[in-house]
Chain A
């Protein structure tokens, strides 16, 4: 089955700096790569997703890049704010078309 690895497990940045979280996947048939944000005590919520027919997608301060050849994708958050502090999960669809999640990254934005 699909295997998704996510790094780093924890990330601290100063407010206003950028944050980058990286994921690799194993199944070359994967074609859908979402990112979820989970605030403390809350449910995961989708923040951005990308499909395999594009290499980059941007939504305000958030962007995702995809390299299908290398089988990795990354989340970029610019001009970080304290409310960006949360756990972020990447996921990949795999050939079974069910989502497999990475292990998560705890992002802390320091004021």
Chain B
């Protein structure tokens, strides 16, 4: 596609529910990142996929968070048993090859946990 697509753009959920956020990277981009951005804060690294290598999950804040990527295409970030502190914008980004290249960000998924 022309850009990085994320869905849903907005998600409101109740505490304790599970949510899935989807990212469709630019075709041909082998690297894919998930970041979390709380209101007025910086970009918190969550997870990094590069081709068929094992993902770098070092940024996932707890075992309630997980992510998958199918080959070099769509990725899904899953948050189980959501908590209010999970409320944030979740940004996906992709790039050619490794991270030492331009990242293109999606518009983000705004998650609100009531």
A18: Cβ under 8 A from any B Cβ: no
Which of A19-27, A63-71, A76-84, A92-100 sits within the interface? A92-100
Across the interface, do A89 and B56 meet the contact criterion of CB distance under 8 Å? Answer: no
Question: Taking the complex as formed, is A43 at the interface, i.e. its CB lies under 8 A from any CB of chain B?
Answer: yes
Chain A residues near B31 (CB-CB < 8 A): 98
Least Cβ–Cβ distance between A6 and chain B, in angstroms: 8
Interface residue SS majority, chain A: loop
B48 with A98: CB separation less than 8 A? yes
| Contact mask for chain B residues 87-114; partner A; CB cutoff 8 A; 1 contact, 0 none | 0000100000011111101111000000
Interface residues of B (CB under 8 A from A): 31, 33, 35, 41-43, 45, 48, 50, 56, 58, 91, 98-103, 105-108
List the interface of chain A (C-beta within 8 A of B). 1, 31-32, 34, 36, 43-46, 49, 51, 89, 93-94, 96-104
11 contacts between A and B (CB under 8 A): A34-B103, A36-B103, A43-B105, A43-B106, A43-B108, A93-B100, A98-B33, A98-B45, A98-B50, A98-B99, A104-B41
